[in-house]
Structure 1
Amino acid sequence: MNALTWNIILALIWVGITGDFNLANLLIGLLLGYAILGFALRDQPQFARYVGKLPKLVWFTGFFLRELFTSNLRVAYDVLTPTHHMRPAVIAVPLIAQTDVEITVLANLISLTPGTLGLDVSSDRKVLYLHVMYLDDEQDVRDSIRRLEQRVLDLLR
């Protein structure tokens, strides 16, 4: 089993031992399991990769929540003001992601943010077609998608 599976098992054991079945206690169990695995598997190379992913996950979560918040504000502003600032368009974004999992995670994260929607992937899986509500500068949109894609790939690879 990999380190993530062991961490989840240890967290569930913690929740079972304490008898307090809530999200906060599960997070405490995950942190305790992480510390236990860090001590027990400190010489194992697969755990070193697992340890390196936790800070990336924290930074990615902050990055994505900020993007989600700003895109929500932009759409809300456009809905609440009398003039619309939308400039909808369909654009093609070249992909670095290669596997189905990487492309699926990226497309779903893009679709979660208001104002963007993943439409299709080319048959060779090298281009993602997006519908964007606010196309002020096409290169800016591509750059923001590229930043998101790079962070997703850092987590998944």
Structure 2
Amino acid sequence: MGIQLFIHVIVTFSWMLFNNSFTFVDFTIGFVIGIGTLWLFQRFFGYRVYLYKVWAVIKLLLLFIKELIQANIDVLKVVLSPKIHVNSGIIAVPTKLESPGEITLLAVLITLTPGTLSMDFSEDNQIIYVHALDISNREEMIKGFHDTFERAIMEVTR
């Protein structure tokens, strides 16, 4: 990925030098030409253009913000209700993530979302134990972690 970024920067600034113009328009044209060049030669790199990873990181951040807002609304409903009806508990969330960085990122995203807290990992790092404020439907909650955070993390790291 580093070589792709280097080539992209070289192509972009070469375009600006060849035109002897350092305007935003020429930068944009050079940037687009650089993307086209990387796209044409991506089979020689052996992996996809790095902008796919950048887009995956942006999607992960937007997903986290969405989940953060939704979790805050859910916790606010519990706090503001006259009688607190919560079914808190600990659930074991199996994960398909393999590297320690991926697993740690999942645990951090779970912890940063209000109403959930990553507590511990299994010995083989395949299960994360999560304390949740409301575990009315365990399977749905586990499926939610898999469909949101875990899938987005795999897009970024693989």
Indicate whether the TM-score tops 0.5. Answer: yes
**What residue is the counterpart of 1:22 in the other structure?**
none
Structure number with bigger Rg: 2
CA change 1:64–1:36 in 2 (3 A) is: farther
CA RMSD across the alignment = 2.9
Unpaired runs of 5+ in structure 2?
Answer: 10-27
Give CA-to-partner distance per residue, 1:65-103, whole Å, 9 cap, x none: 111111001111211222113211011111100110000
Alpha-carbon distance in structure 2 between the residues aligned to 1:4 and 1:142 = 37
Gaps of 5+ in 1: 11-30
Structure-1 residue corresponding to 2:63: 63
Q: Deviations over 1:81-131 (max 9, x none)?
A: 221132110111111001100001110011110011111111111111100
User: Residue 75 of structure 1 contacts residue 114 of structure 1 at CA under 8 Å; is this kept in 2?
Assistant: yes
Letter in 1 for 2:108: N
Structure 1 segments of 4+ aligned residues over 3 angstroms from their partners? 3-7, 31-37, 39-42
Q: Which has the higher contact order (CA 8 A, sep 6+)?
A: 2
User: In structure 2, do the counterparts of structure 1 residues 86 and 50 end up closer, same or farther at CA, with 3 Å as the change threshold?
Assistant: same
Change (3 A) 1:106 1:32: farther
TM-score when normalising by structure 1: 0.73
2:104 maps to 1:74: no
What does 1:6-85 align with in structure 2 at a 5 Å threshold? Answer: 6=6, 35=32, 37-39=34-36, 41-42=38-39, 43-44=41-42, 45=45, 48-85=48-85
Contact preservation (8 Å) 1:93, 1:130 = yes
Supply the AA of the counterpart residue of 1:102: E
Q: CA deviation at 1:58?
A: 3.0
Question: CA–CA distance in 2 between the matches of 1:50 and 1:98?
Answer: 22
Q: Quote how far apart the aligned CAs of 1:37 are.
A: 4.8
Identity across matched positions, percent? 30
TM-score by length of 2: 0.72
Equivalent residues of 1:110, 1:117 under 8 A apart: yes
